[in-house]
Amino acid sequence: MGEPKFSRPKFDTPPHPWKKARIEEEHLIQANHGLKNMREIWKAKSQLRRHRRQAMRLIGTLDTSEGHGMREKDDLLRSLHLKGLITKEAILDDILSLNAEDILNRRLQAMVYYKGLACSLKQARQLVTHGHICIGDQKVTIPSYPVNRDEEEIIQYHPSSDLNNPEHEIRKAIDGRKEMAEYAEEEVDPEATKPFADEVNEAAEVAPSAEAEAEVEDGGEA
């Protein structure tokens, strides 16, 4: 039963703690998402299992087109849509295709980075922890806070944060990264498919060089 004054853990630990493949996978997820420890991954996986278990139970129900089954199905789909995990047109089968990274991407830390308010996921965690980020008018200092769909557009720097100054070093670094990304996107030719690129490369190899053309011109003048 445990000590009554201590809350029970809200996530399950791995059944095989020293399994190499799982450890390597979790280390990669931790590095890609700028996470502090593995418990954040275990929490996401536990939440994912709950959603999948509920979806599988409803899929196995004989009739979810009416009555209590339909209401429970609609409530689950509506809840996951508001959390930003599925689209409005999603069905129960789409819940089974979710993974732990889909849940991690809804964390405030990740949303701050994806909105361009930080240069990296690790920096986004620092900005949230030190009180530079707010949702609407409410300061939030929890990097793992799950952002709902209707909160995405109101994530911003807190009014008291120094980052509201465009001349701040972090703001300059962010703007520089944005300019580089826009420049790289402009340089990409949408019609430059692989066959087209191969054709251009072959033509470049066959075409005479500038030095050869200069020799021909000198010979003609002589």
Q: Tell me if 26 sits within 8 A of 104, measured CB to CB.
A: no
Q: Tell me if 152 sits within 8 A of 83, measured CB to CB.
A: no
Check pLDDT > 70 for residue 1. no
Q: Which residues of the chain form CATH 3.10.290.10?
A: 108-185
Q: Tell me if 160 sits within 8 A of 102, measured CB to CB.
A: no
CA gap 110, 96 in Å, rounded: 23
Tens digit of pLDDT for each residue in 11-40?
788 888 888 999 999 999 999 999 988 999
Residue 215: its pLDDT value, please? 53
List Cα–Cα distances, 72 to 58, 75, 84, 117, 120, in angstroms. 8, 5, 19, 38, 39
Check pLDDT > 70 for residue 197. no
108-185 has CATH 3.10.290.10 classification: yes
Q: Considering the entire predicted model, what is its pTM?
A: 0.74
Check pLDDT > 50 for residue 176. yes
Please report which confidence band the pLDDT of residue 82 belongs to, taking 50, 70 and 90 as the band edges.
very high
Rg (CA), the chain: 26
Task: Calculate the CA 166 to chain-centre distance.
Answer: 25
Q: Tell me if 158 sits within 8 A of 133, measured CB to CB.
A: yes
Q: Tell me if 112 sits within 8 A of 118, measured CB to CB.
A: yes
Q: Tell me if 113 sits within 8 A of 121, measured CB to CB.
A: yes
User: In angstroms, how far apart are the furthest CA atoms of the chain?
Assistant: 102
Tens digit of pLDDT for each residue in 132-165?
999 999 999 999 999 999 999 999 999 999 999 9
Q: Tell me if 114 sits within 8 A of 84, measured CB to CB.
A: no
The percentage of the chain sitting over the pLDDT mark of 90, rounded to a whole number, equals 55
**How many angstroms separate the first and last alpha carbons of the chain?**
101
List Cα–Cα distances, 40 to 75, 100, 105, in angstroms. 26, 10, 12
CA gap 162, 132 in Å, rounded: 8
Q: Tell me if 141 sits within 8 A of 161, measured CB to CB.
A: no
